Amino acid sequence: MLSADQQLEILKRATVTIHSEKELAAKLARGKPLRVKLGVDPTSPDIHLGHAVALRKLRQFQELGHQVVLIIGDFTAMIGDPSGRSSTRPPLTHEQVLANARTYTEQAFLVLERSRTEVVFNGDWFAKMPFTEVLALNARVTLQQMLQREDFKNRLAQGTEVRLHEIQYPIMQGWDSVVVRADVEIGGSDQLFNILVGRDLQKEEGMEPQVCMTLPLLEGLDGVKKMSKSLNNYVGLSEPPREMFGKLMSIADALMEKYFLLVLGEAMPADLHPMQAKKLLASRCVEIYHSAEAARDCLEDWDLRFSKRDLAQAELPLVPWTAEMTAFDLAKASFAQLGAVLSGGDIRRLLTQGSIQLNGEKLTDPKQVPAWQAGAVLKLDKKRSVRLA
């Protein structure tokens, strides 16, 4: 085991705040494995690179010999964390949440070590909590404290609703820390408030308060907002390699440095052409979540399709056709083949605007019946193409 100082040095990397470093040093100095908590709300079935930032930090703790406590917020997910939200979340049923939780933990183990991970569900204690205890818990926190939060303050100022159950969220997350006796809790920088509530509750319970460690938030593919499923700007850990690769290639240059640091845990190589750097980023990421082989394949495929623009050689999904199909018919069939649900209007729009191309020729008239040929390449949009069977 490394010394406390050495550990601290490693753990401090790529964090936003640590409350406090002194406390963390003291805990590490005892030489006993720490219980490091991360709460996740399974509001969607997939874990993405944004979640992975925290998971990677946990992995770092594990490699230093510490114990991870992964709290599945099956109960809190039904409330929805109000952090960073400008409106109330739509409620999820417990069945949905449990189904999500299964794929969630599965994917979390792409990063975490199973043997040093304890998985618990907070419904185990909250579902059984009597109302008297709920009230007692609420009595410890003031409304003023809760309303200090930016999210609530903004919503109040704007006259949008804040429902009472939402202000319970930080209290519940804090109580989780008490129940699992967390030594450290980590989360995104938007979790600061929630994690600090945990410290207060632990202190009141006569426990040593947890260290609060926050990590930078990873912006999504749009480069502006936090990566999230609901904004559809995410890269899922279990996405097929080529999809993962393609999504990473579409991020803005300015974002690369952060992605290198948070997704790969490396510094971005200094004097690489941005295009090369991005390819490296995408390859390394595919390598981590799939394999080196998959990464090579993606890179090759990418070069073939886009750098050399040689769709003819690329490996593409095959689409059955008949000679009398119109451009519209075949485009529709192709999208269907790829499992994409587009309305006729969308397809018509893609056609008339020149997105759909047969061997590089724009098919702008939906009703035309081109001379289809086996092996011909039909480009559908920026990312998708098919080959006639």
Query: What distance in Å separates the CA atoms of residue 185 and residue 174, rounded to the nearest whole number?
Result: 10
CB 177 within 8 A of CB 210: yes
Q: Report if residue 159 touches RNA, rule: CB under 7 A.
A: yes
Q: Report if residue 344 touches RNA, rule: CB under 7 A.
A: yes
Q: Report if residue 382 touches RNA, rule: CB under 7 A.
A: yes
Q: Which range binds RNA by CB under 7 A, 55-63, 89-97, 198-206, 350-358?
A: 350-358
Pairing of strands 377-379, 357-358: antiparallel
Q: Which two tokens stand for residue 272?
A: 């690489």
Q: Report if residue 335 touches RNA, rule: CB under 7 A.
A: no
Phi, psi of 130 (to 5 degrees): -70, 155
Angle in degrees, CA 62, 63, 65, rounded to 5: 65
Query: What distance in Å separates the CA atoms of residue 8 and residue 136, rounded to the nearest whole number?
Result: 37
Query: Total binding residues for RNA by CB under 7 A?
Result: 32
Residue whose pair of structure tokens reads 């998708």 in the numeric block: 384
**Nearest distance from residue 321's CB to RNA, in Å?**
18
User: Helix axis angle, 169-180 relative to 131-138, nearest 10°?
Assistant: 100
Closest CA to 118 of 184, 58, 68: 68
Q: Which of 156, 336, 340, 389 binds RNA (CB under 7 A)?
A: 156
Query: What distance in Å separates the CA atoms of residue 324 and residue 8, rounded to the nearest whole number?
Result: 69
Residue nearer to RNA on the CB measure, 103 or 250: 250
Q: Which of 349, 369, 372, 376 binds RNA (CB under 7 A)?
A: 349
CB 342 within 8 A of CB 356: no
Distances (CA, A) of 355 to 12, 15, 29, 362, 383: 48, 43, 62, 7, 11
Window 233 to 292, contacts with RNA (CB under 7 A): 246, 249-253, 274-275, 278
Give 3-state DSSP helix, strand, coil % of the chain, rounded to 5: 50, 10, 40
**Nearest distance from residue 300's CB to RNA, in Å?**
12
**Nearest distance from residue 381's CB to RNA, in Å?**
3
Window 43 to 62, contacts with RNA (CB under 7 A): none
Q: Report if residue 345 touches RNA, rule: CB under 7 A.
A: yes
Window 84 to 113, contacts with RNA (CB under 7 A): none
Q: Which range binds RNA by CB under 7 A, 29-37, 51-59, 153-161, 257-265?
A: 153-161
Window 296 to 325, contacts with RNA (CB under 7 A): 302, 305-307
Residue nearer to RNA on the CB measure, 212 or 351: 351
Q: Report if residue 353 touches RNA, rule: CB under 7 A.
A: yes
Residues interacting with RNA, by CB under 7 A?
156, 159-161, 222-223, 246, 249-253, 274-275, 278, 302, 305-307, 343-346, 348-350, 353-355, 381-383
